[in-house]
């Protein structure tokens, strides 16, 4: 249509509008001097005299008109304003269809309106006071305010910032594109504004409901705390996988000749318009974002094939979430396909197990997506038969007929409009065959939905009589996507009220339990870890204050005293090695021990050898090891008495922290100690005060060893019996004296005693003789002979104790500086690193849940908080749903008004 023809049609429109306004004004008495039918002079304020094209504006004339309208009733003023707005609105609509012609007509209308209101300028100036009282009573329509504001901005274009051109069109285009992509529609420019608004609102509501559903799955423990999903059922090879992949747009489901779907797949589709690349996530596995759908397919295959062959199917679901701008917001559950015959390598009960698994998921309120192939009679459809058992009226079942291109069109029409197996939600016919690779299309890394939709359109458009718009049949993947979204949104909305009531009840129970059992005491995994760590560090601080140099000295001196006793037993209290090998028993009578002679060099060399063996024992390594072991034991004791006792991970972390610090300081400390005691390896000077102190230490060590021997001997009496032990000890003594001769090694027993009893007898004899020896040496140490340093060769116990005391005093100095101080400083910081900054959120949660009491406390708090959050989201969702309904109704009204304006503008 040419611009000249459009201009010719638009000119009468403005002439009629001018005449109507002129008649209306003169009938009210404003301009009585002008005839009712007088045409406006062409030369008056003609558009041809205006150098620049301007849009119609009421800014200059509106105040004057308002002064004049002050004399009229408020309703007349509102009518005039509405008439002017209507005239302007008609002018705008005419401009949509004929831009060039409209610009010319718009200028003419502007000149007309300006001339019309110039005549009332004087009257409006006089009535400013009256208008101030009347304008508050006039209610200007909302659309007029919007139009007036836009025109005012246009008229003052030079004084303010000009709004960006085309933003509204771009926004509308982006919204339409996002909605079209979600529904699988390529280049859908025929969608009306109301449909776009409804689809956008529906997608938003569905996304929110799916979010609530996922949160309720985390709450669990109640069948009422669930929102419905779409459960996909069908026989094997019926096209279930192809339908789901057509909805998603990628091949991602496991495929194979054998049964590969052995677990339910809970598939959540999230429409994400701003995402750069489509990706999938396995929330339970923590694999992160997977953009390669081939890897998703491999992961699903591995998870399914991990089910043992003898079990074949399980109800343990696989959770998969796919984010893409090309998918609608849906919650789908893919189940193993029904089978008719059990294979030889499959369990006999497999058919029944699959049926039971599907029956578990197709219970209310879930929506059933029953997949049936077109080349199979619906009477033999296993999916429809299963849905009939739980949904006899077909109120929540959607039938999907796949492989529509395998049957003739008339047969397809009969199946889609089936009357024998009616479904309230109807049937949808699809052709989900994925096009072969080649040309411009590649199966890898490319969304398949548009290719499948084009392939379907080619088939269904080739049969316009059977599948055309007049047939009122539902066909195509795009239609199926849209139906699934609508049904899921409606089903979830219908279940929302009951779910809300159940949540309120569950929340009351959780709040009561939290108040009664835990006195409303807040707790989190982070706070529990922090409190436990602070308490443990406080206990460690107390330990470090109590374990210092005196405690290390006592610990090391006790260890060296034991070494001294071993040296004495080896060099003084036993026979030489060659004599010991000739006797069958280890215990020797005291009378057989060597007697020292004052002038003999043997005893001097023996004492020097014992001293050298003690000083060259490796005191540095020995002392460091003793202190290190004691520190580890003390830390373990602190752990056992703390809250960390119930946490294996924390126990291991604390032990590793102590081990790490002590290991780092071990070699340097032992070397320092060894270097400092090196002078004692060559010469040891002893003073009288040191000798007296050593005499007391030797007596103390002998008494301690004597008590140990007596306690061990008493333990043997309690184990064997005093009488039996005396009998076997007497037999051992007779053998030692030679009164009884044994043949062989007495491994099988002798004298009526078993070999184990004879061994116990030998131990008792040894302890008895050792106790007698200790008593004798204790008496010698206390005697006057050992009171003088001159008799050190007669009292080796005292001299060796003095040497041990010197070694201890020297070693403690460096142990305190090199080991203790460093450990006390670094250990709390190492704990913070290993049990604080080192742990992530999941590890902290796992740590807290290791304690059963804390786990129960956290579960109650988490359940309560989750229920509160879900309830809050449901309330906000209800408000959003109300706004969506209002927006939809408004969109329908706007669309209707737009159609009316279009119709009138074309005449």
Distance separating alpha carbons of residues 435 and 121, to the nearest angstrom: 73
Do residues 366 and 231 make contact, with C-beta atoms less than 8 angstroms apart?
yes
Q: List the alpha helices (DSSP H) in 783-851.
A: 796-815, 821-832, 841-848
Q: What is the mean pLDDT of residues 303-308?
A: 89
Distance separating alpha carbons of residues 138 and 141, to the nearest angstrom: 10
Q: Which tokens go with 329?
A: 């917001």
Higher pLDDT, 158 or 487: 487
| E strand segments, 660-755 | none
Q: Say what the pLDDT of residue 707 is.
A: 93
Q: Say what the pLDDT of residue 503 is.
A: 83
pLDDT-wise least confident of 411-415, 644-648, 746-750, 752-756: 746-750
Q: Say what the pLDDT of residue 879 is.
A: 76
Q: Say what the pLDDT of residue 605 is.
A: 83
Q: pLDDT exceeding 70 applies to what percent of the chain?
A: 68
In angstroms, what CA-CA distances link 767 with 325, 713, 772, 855, 872? 87, 6, 9, 54, 79
Q: Give the dihedral of Cα atoms 152, 154, 155, 161; nearest 10 deg.
A: 90
How many CB atoms lie under 10 A from the CB of residue 721? 11
Q: What is the mean pLDDT of residues 85-112?
A: 48
> Distance from first CA to last CA of the chain, Å, rounded?
14
Q: Which tokens go with 304?
A: 């399914």
Distance separating alpha carbons of residues 797 and 781, to the nearest angstrom: 8
**Residue linked to tokens 């070694």:** 807
Burial of 256 (0-12, 13-18, 19+ CB in 10 A): exposed
In angstroms, what CA-CA distances link 235 with 376, 377, 389, 425? 11, 13, 16, 21
pLDDT-wise least confident of 93-102, 441-450, 481-490, 600-609: 93-102
Q: What is the mean pLDDT of residues 311-334?
A: 90
Angle between helices 240-248 and 449-461 (to 10 degrees): 110
Higher pLDDT, 191 or 556: 556
Tens digits of residue pLDDT in 25-53: 344 443 333 444 444 343 333 333 334 44
Q: Say what the pLDDT of residue 32 is.
A: 38
> What DSSP letter does each residue of 207-218 carry, written as one string?
HHHHHHHHHHHH
Q: Given pLDDT bands bounded at 50, 70 and 90, which one contains residue 567? A: confident
Q: Which tokens go with 764?
A: 């008792």
Q: Sign (positive/negative) of CA torsion 577, 582, 587, 592?
A: negative
Burial of 111 (0-12, 13-18, 19+ CB in 10 A): buried
- Sheet holding 367-373: strands in order across? 279-281, 318-324, 265-271, 330-334, 230-234, 367-373, 397-402, 427-429
Decide if pLDDT at 311 tops 50.
yes
pLDDT-wise least confident of 200-204, 336-340, 585-589: 585-589
Distance separating alpha carbons of residues 480 and 452, to the nearest angstrom: 13
Decide if pLDDT at 122 tops 50.
no
Higher pLDDT, 285 or 603: 285
Q: What is the mean pLDDT of residues 155-162?
A: 41
> What DSSP letter does each residue of 873-906 carry, written as one string?
HHHHHHHHHHHHHHHHHHHHHHHHHHHHHHHHHT
Q: Mean pLDDT for the chain?
A: 76
Tens digits of residue pLDDT in 818-857: 899 999 999 999 998 888 777 888 888 888 888 888 888 8
* Length of the chain, in residues: 907
User: What one-character DSSP code corresponds to residue 235?
Assistant: B
Bridge partners (DSSP) of residue 321 are 268, 281
Tens digits of residue pLDDT in 237-253: 888 999 999 999 999 99
Q: Say what the pLDDT of residue 626 is.
A: 93
Q: Which tokens go with 151?
A: 């025109």
Decide if pLDDT at 597 tops 50.
yes
Q: What is the mean pLDDT of residues 495-504?
A: 82
Distance separating alpha carbons of residues 243 and 246, to the nearest angstrom: 5
Higher pLDDT, 210 or 487: 487
Decide if pLDDT at 153 tops 50.
no
In angstroms, what CA-CA distances link 598 with 240, 783, 793, 798? 106, 17, 8, 17
Q: Say what the pLDDT of residue 181 is.
A: 58
Q: Say what the pLDDT of residue 349 is.
A: 86
pLDDT-wise least confident of 89-98, 412-421, 765-774, 784-793: 89-98
Secondary-structure percent of the chain, ordered helix, strand, coil, rounded to 5? 65, 5, 30
Q: Given pLDDT bands bounded at 50, 70 and 90, which one contains residue 119? A: very low
């Amino acid at each position: 249509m040419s611009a000249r023809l459009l201009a010719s049609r638009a000119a009468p429109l403005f002439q009629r509008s001018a005449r109507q306004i002129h008649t209306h004004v003169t009938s009210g008495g404003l301009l009585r001097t002008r005839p009712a039918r007088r045409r406006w002079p062409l030369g008056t304020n003609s558009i041809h005299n205006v150098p620049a094209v301007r849009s119609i504006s009421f800014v200059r004339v509106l105040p004057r008109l308002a002064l004049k309208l002050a004399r009229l009733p408020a309703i007349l003023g509102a009518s005039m304003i509405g008439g002017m707005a209507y005239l302007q609105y008609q002018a705008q609509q005419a401009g949509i269809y004929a831009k060039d012609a409209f610009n010319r007509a718009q200028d003419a209308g502007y000149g007309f309106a300006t001339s019309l209101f110039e005549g009332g300028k004087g009257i409006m100036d006089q009535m400013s006071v009256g208008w101030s009282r009347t304008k508050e009573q006039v209610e200007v329509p909302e659309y007029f305010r919007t139009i007036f504001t836009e025109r005012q901005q246009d008229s003052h274009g030079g004084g303010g910032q000009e709004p960006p051109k085309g933003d509204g069109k771009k926004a509308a285009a982006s919204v339409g594109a996002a909605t079209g992509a979600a529904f699988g529609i390529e280049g859908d420019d025929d969608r009306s504004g109301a449909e776009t608004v409804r689809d956008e609102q529906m997608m938003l509501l569905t996304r929110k409901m799916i979010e609530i559903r996922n949160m309720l799955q985390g709450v669990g423990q109640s069948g009422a705390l669930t929102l419905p999903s779409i459960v996909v059922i069908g026989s094997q090879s019926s096209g279930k996988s192809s339908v789901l992949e057509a909805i998603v747009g990628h091949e991602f489901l496991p495929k194979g000749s054998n049964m590969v779907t052995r677990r339910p797949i809970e598939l959540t589709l999230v429409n994400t318009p701003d995402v750069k690349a489509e990706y999938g996530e396995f929330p339970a596995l923590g694999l992160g974002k997977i953009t390669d759908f081939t890897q998703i397919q491999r992961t699903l295959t591995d998870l399914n094939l991990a089910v043992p062959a003898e079990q074949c199917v399980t109800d343990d679901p696989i959770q998969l979430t796919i984010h893409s701008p090309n998918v609608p917001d849906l919650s789908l559950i893919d189940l193993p396909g029904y089978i008719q015959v059990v294979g030889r390598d499959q369990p006999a009960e497999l058919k029944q197990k699959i049926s039971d698994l599907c029956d578990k998921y197709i219970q209310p309120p879930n929506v059933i997506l029953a997949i049936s192939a077109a080349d199979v009679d619906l009477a033999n459809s296993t999916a429809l038969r299963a849905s009939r058992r739980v949904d006899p009226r077909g109120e929540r079942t959607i039938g999907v007929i796949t492989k529509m291109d395998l049957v003739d069109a008339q047969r397809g029409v009969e199946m889609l409009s089936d009357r024998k197996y009616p479904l309230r939600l109807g049937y949808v016919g699809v052709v989900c065959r994925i096009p072969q690779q080649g040309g411009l299309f590649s199966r890898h890394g490319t969304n398949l939905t548009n290719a499948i939709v084009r392939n379907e359109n080619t088939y269904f458009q080739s049969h316009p009589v059977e599948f055309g718009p007049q047939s009122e049949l539902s066909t195509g993947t795009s239609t199926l996507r849209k139906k699934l979204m609508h049904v899921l949104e409606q089903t979830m909305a219908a279940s929302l009220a009951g779910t809300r009531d159940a949540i309120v009840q569950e929340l009351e129970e959780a709040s009561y339990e939290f108040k009664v059992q835990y006195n409303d005491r807040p707790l989190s995994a982070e706070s529990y870890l922090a409190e436990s760590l602070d308490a443990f560090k406080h206990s460690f601080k107390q330990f470090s204050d109590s374990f210092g140099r005196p405690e290390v000295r006592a610990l090391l001196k006790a260890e060296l005293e034991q070494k001294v006793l071993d040296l004495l037993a080896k060099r003084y209290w036993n026979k030489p090695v060659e004599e010991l090998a000739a006797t069958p028993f280890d215990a020797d009578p005291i009378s057989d021990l060597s007697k020292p002679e004052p002038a003999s060099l043997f005893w001097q060399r023996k004492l020097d050898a014992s001293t050298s063996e003690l000083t060259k024992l490796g005191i540095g390594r020995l002392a460091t090891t003793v202190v290190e072991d004691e520190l580890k034991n003390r830390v373990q004791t602190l752990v056992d008495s703390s809250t960390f006792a119930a946490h294996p991970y924390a126990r291991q972390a604390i032990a590793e922290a102590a081990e790490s610090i002590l290991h780092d300081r071990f070699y340097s400390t032992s070397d320092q100690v060894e270097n400092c005691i090196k002078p004692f390896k060559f010469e040891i000077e002893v003073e009288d005060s040191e000798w007296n102190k050593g005499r007391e230490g030797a007596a103390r060590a002998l008494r301690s060893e004597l008590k140990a021997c007596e306690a061990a001997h008493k333990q043997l009496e309690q184990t064997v019996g005093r009488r039996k032990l005396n009998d076997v000890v007497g037999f051992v003594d007779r053998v030692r004296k030679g009164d009884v001769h044994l043949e062989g090694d007495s491994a099988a027993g002798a004298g009526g005693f078993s070999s184990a009893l004879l061994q116990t007898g030998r131990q008792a004899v040894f302890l008895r003789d050792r106790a007698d020896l200790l008593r004798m040496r204790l008496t010698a140490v206390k005697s006057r002979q050992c009171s003088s340093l001159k008799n050190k060769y007669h009292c080796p116990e005292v001299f060796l104790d003095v040497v041990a005391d010197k070694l201890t005093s020297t070693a403690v100095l460096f142990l305190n500086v090199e080991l203790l101080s460093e450990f006390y400083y670094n250990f709390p910081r190492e704990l913070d690193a290993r049990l604080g900054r080192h742990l992530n959120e999941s590890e902290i949660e796992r740590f807290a849940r290791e304690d059963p009491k804390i786990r129960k406390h956290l579960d109650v708090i988490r359940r309560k908080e989750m229920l509160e959050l879900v309830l809050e989201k449901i309330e906000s969702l209800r408000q959003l749903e109300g706004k969506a309904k209002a927006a939809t109704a408004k969109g329908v009204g706007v669309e209707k008004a737009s159609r009316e304006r279009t119709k009138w503008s074309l005449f």
